């Protein structure tokens, strides 16, 4: 397993912004929402994230936005409906924390994280398209990026 495979500066910056934002969100407020409806989204994020990791398999996980040279295109589990379930899980985990423990600093950090994830998705999809070619294009045509029936 290679926990971080990054070949260029742009990929490294996207990775760095994502993980810095996550750390800042964790240290700037409570890490559990107190509201029951928000807790449902939070728990759903955890379940989706764990399911995505299990479907991906330890040997195929990469913290960077580029496919591993020996990686496989995963189209099982949550990947049957959503191309980026780990990013969806991040949004489902941290949006309830922002809402339940709102500060303008956390709103700014969450905005940076969300924009970064959207840019990272575009970059990652270009890389996956180059690496897996027709197979990825066919997969992308039948799945959603982040949220089924929305985006």
Q: Please state the separation of Cα 112 from the chain's center in Å.
A: 14
**What is the residue whose two structure tokens read 């299990």?**
54
pTM score > 0.85 for this model?
yes
Exposure letters 70-91 (e unless 16+ CB within 10 A, then b): ebeebeebbbeebbbbbbbbbb
| Percent of the chain at pLDDT exceeding 70 | 96
Specify the DSSP class assigned to residue 79. G
Quote the CA–CA distance of 86 and 88 in Å, as a whole number.
5
pLDDT at 64: 83
**What is the residue whose two structure tokens read 């969450």?**
110
pLDDT at 1: 45
Q: Residue ranges of the chain with pLDDT lower than 50?
A: 1
Mean per-residue pLDDT of the chain: 92
pLDDT at 27: 97
Question: Among residues 91, 77, 80, 106, which one has the least CA distance to residue 45?
Answer: 91
């Amino acid at each position: 397993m290679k926990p971080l495979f990054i070949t260029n500066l742009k990929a490294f910056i996207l990775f760095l912004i994502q993980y810095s934002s996550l750390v800042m969100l964790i240290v700037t407020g409570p890490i559990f929402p107190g509201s029951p409806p928000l807790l449902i989204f939070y728990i759903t994020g955890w379940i989706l994230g764990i399911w995505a990791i299990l479907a991906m398999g330890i040997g195929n996980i990469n913290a960077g936005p580029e496919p591993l040279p020996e990686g496989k295109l995963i189209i099982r589990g949550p990947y049957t409906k959503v191309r980026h379930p780990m990013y969806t899980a991040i949004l489902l985990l941290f949006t309830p924390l922002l809402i339940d423990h709102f500060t303008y600093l956390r709103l700014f950090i969450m905005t940076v994280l969300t924009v970064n994830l959207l840019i990272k998705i575009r970059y990652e999809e270009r890389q996956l398209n180059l690496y897996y070619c027709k197979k990825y294009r066919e997969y992308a045509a039948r799945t959603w990026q982040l949220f089924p029936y929305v985006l």
